[in-house]
Amino acid sequence: MTQMDTKLAQVGLSTDPNTGAVSPPIYHSATFANKGYGLTNDYYYSRVKNPTRTQLEDTIAELEGGAYGFAFASGMAATSAIMQLFVPGDHLIVSEDLYGGTHRLFTQILSRYEITTTFVDTADINKVKESIMPNTKGILIETPSNPMLRVTSLQEISDFCKKHNIISIVDNTFMTPYLQRPLNFGIDIVYHSGTKYIGGHNDVICGLVVVEREDIAEKLTFIQNTTGAVLGPQDCWLVLRGLKTLALRMDRQQENAQKLAESLLNHVAVSNVYYPGVAEKVVQKLQLSQSTGFGAMLSFELKNFNLVKSLIEGFELVTFAQSLGGTETMITHPVLETHADIPEEARLRLGITNGLLRVSVGCENPDDIIKDFKAQLDRASNTTLKPV
């Protein structure tokens, strides 16, 4: 069986039957000439289907181990399309610790259409079981979660959903198919903000969805065509190009993340570090039972939240930005940016405090990353590393 890193390195290779081009062509065409009156072409209008988008959709489906792939204009467009599988009166169980934009979709948009949501700690299957209602139709999880990096058992969620005829949905943005493939555990729908690790260079906005079930695929095909939030051919090509180096980037980034997490654990200005690679053994074991690594996202909490502004503004190497998954190391303040729409009471209950910072660890030399963090933590707090 061909290994994942080999598949990634050869994404799009010589797939053009007309020329054998090593890089797949970009079809910048809104429409396609008919072959004749009454004859149906495979491609006739790019909102419905475009050859470059087909290349990406087929690729992500293969990488995730699914049968059908869909490329959308953004990660939130992909999430919104999935949510259109549900109807007024439906209830969903959702990870309480997840991207703020997804939380906003449920609480401020879907609620208008009488689709209700219960946010729970999906890492605790008993809490999931306690939240089920007669009208529960779906469960959506992030694992590891954003920004607290909590790990939910894919197998437990999958088994529970199958038992109750519930659609299971996993946001796999943090892990990518290189590290984690939820469909292998029986999950129904996996989706990504392809903007992040899959694109990998902070130069494209993209959402991707993969399913195995034909009935769900038929509905998503209709939704994608009808609502029209499709990814353009140029952006599809950029994502295909990014996929080629996904294995190389993820290997380096998660190696760097492990080193940075261990370094932050030793700084007296830091009270907590959230990263599966330094979590308790039971969490590490669960993570490695359903993935091949710990990923490259981590969060840490300062003992004194008043240091946040000074710390962020002092970095020389690290970029203060809201996104993640690029080659460069970036830091964000969730309460100010990514999770600002979540009510303060809920944030604090989840551990998303004013002193919490989220880091997307990049591909730089790990010594340089650690040096910048140490220098800025020392400067901001006038402290030094504890003896090791």
**Nearest to residue 356, comparing CAs of 369, 374, 367, 344?**
344
Q: Residue for token digits 């989220």?
A: 358
Tokens of 87: 């109807």
Q: Are 275 and 261 in contact (CB under 8 A)?
A: yes
Choosing from 171, 188, 235, 372, the catalytic residue is 171
**Nearest to residue 187, comparing CAs of 291, 265, 33?**
291
196 among known catalytic residues: yes
Q: Are 273 and 261 in contact (CB under 8 A)?
A: yes
**Nearest to residue 65, comparing CAs of 188, 174, 245, 193?**
188
**Maximum distance among all Cα pairs of the chain, rounded to whole angstroms:** 79
State the Cα angle at 128 between 124 and 132, rounded to 5°: 170
Q: Which residues contact 2 (CB under 8 A, 6 or more apart)?
A: none
47 among known catalytic residues: yes
Q: Are 294 and 277 in contact (CB under 8 A)?
A: yes
241 among known catalytic residues: no
CB atoms within 10 A of CB 284: 15
Tell me the HSE value of 100 on the side-chain side, using a 13 A CA sphere.
20
Q: Are 121 and 346 in contact (CB under 8 A)?
A: no
Choosing from 7, 53, 150, 196, the catalytic residue is 196
181 among known catalytic residues: no
Choosing from 99, 191, 197, 275, the catalytic residue is 99
Cis peptide bond N-terminal to 144, omega within 30 = yes
Tell me the HSE value of 358 on the side-chain side, using a 13 A CA sphere.
27
**Nearest to residue 72, comparing CAs of 57, 94, 88, 87?**
57
Choosing from 43, 47, 129, 378, the catalytic residue is 47
| Three-state DSSP class for residue 269 | coil
Tokens of 28: 């910048």
Tell me the HSE value of 10 on the side-chain side, using a 13 A CA sphere.
9
Q: Is 144 exposed, middle or buried (0-12, 13-18, 19+ CB in 10 A)?
A: buried
Q: Which residues belong to the active site?
A: 47, 99, 171, 196
